[in-house]
Amino acid sequence: MRIIPRSFFARDSREAAPELIGKRLHLPSEGIIARIVEVEAYRGAEDPAAHSYRGETPRTRVMFGPPGHAYVYFNYGMHWALNAVSGSHNGHGILIRAAEPLEGLDAIRSRRHTGQKKLPNDFELLRGPGNLTKGFGITGDDGGTDLCSIDSRFFIEDAPLGNHVVIASPRVGIREAADAPLRFSLKGSRYVSRPIPKE
């Protein structure tokens, strides 16, 4: 297995984000492997929708650190979201929004099925930023994790995209810069978090 190189993330998130589609997120301790099918780029001072837009704060500190590490934030009072720090100490990040579970489905199901009535189907297991972190058991404690190291609790494998197409569309759930096509997804995948708007 080939781990994704740190140089992959050491550039503008707008460049790296589309290429992150198809890579694999690993959680070895649970035997979980999932293919990334949807991401969004956030571009620091260039991007009014980014948490890092107004500079470094205690919360956004890791986004101004070395690329390839995890920026994990808590939102809406109940959800964690996983980002890969990118760029060069300039607040860039890539939000990982959805993935297709490949291995460890049962481990993911048990994390996602928390006493609710409905149990999620396979398409829904890692669909959406909050669901993805829940399925992987990722929380704020994982902030700063090195995604480019096989020794980390979780990391990213540099898998080829193969015979697939990546499409761009506007990002989800933001107000500022709502039109910028910085959301990237695997064309035709049923594992994406929500429908891609028609052009």
Partner DNA sequence: ATGAAGATCAGA
Partner DNA sequence: CTGATCTTCATC
Interface with DNA by CB under 7 A: which residues? 40, 42, 49-52, 54, 57-60, 71, 73-79, 81, 83, 93, 95, 112, 116-118, 120, 124, 127-132, 171-175, 193
- As measured in angstroms, the least distance from the Cβ of 58 to DNA is 5
User: And the tokens for 160?
Assistant: 């080829």
- As measured in angstroms, the least distance from the Cβ of 155 to DNA is 19
Residue 22 or residue 128: which is nearer to DNA going by CB?
128
User: And the tokens for 143?
Assistant: 């902030």
- As measured in angstroms, the least distance from the Cβ of 188 to DNA is 20
Residue 68 or residue 130: which is nearer to DNA going by CB?
130
- As measured in angstroms, the least distance from the Cβ of 95 to DNA is 3
Name residue 180's amino acid. A
Residue 28 or residue 123: which is nearer to DNA going by CB?
123
Residue 28 or residue 112: which is nearer to DNA going by CB?
112
Residue 21 or residue 132: which is nearer to DNA going by CB?
132
**Regarding beta strands 183-186 and 79-86, do their DSSP bridges make them parallel or antiparallel, or are they unpaired?**
unpaired
Three-state secondary structure readout of the chain? CCECCHHHHCCCHHHHHHHHCCCEEEEHHHCEEEEEEEEEEEEHHHCCCCCCCCCCCCCCHHHHCCCCEEEEEEECCCEEEEEEEECCCCCEEEEEEEEEEEECHHHHHHHHCCCCCCCCCCCCCCECHHHHHHHHCCCHHHCCCECCCCCCCCEEECCCCCCCCEEEECCCCCCCCCCCCCEEEECCCCCCCCCCCCC
- As measured in angstroms, the least distance from the Cβ of 46 to DNA is 12
- As measured in angstroms, the least distance from the Cβ of 7 to DNA is 21
Instruction: Give the dihedral sign, CA 131/132/137/142.
Output: negative
Residue 28 or residue 48: which is nearer to DNA going by CB?
48
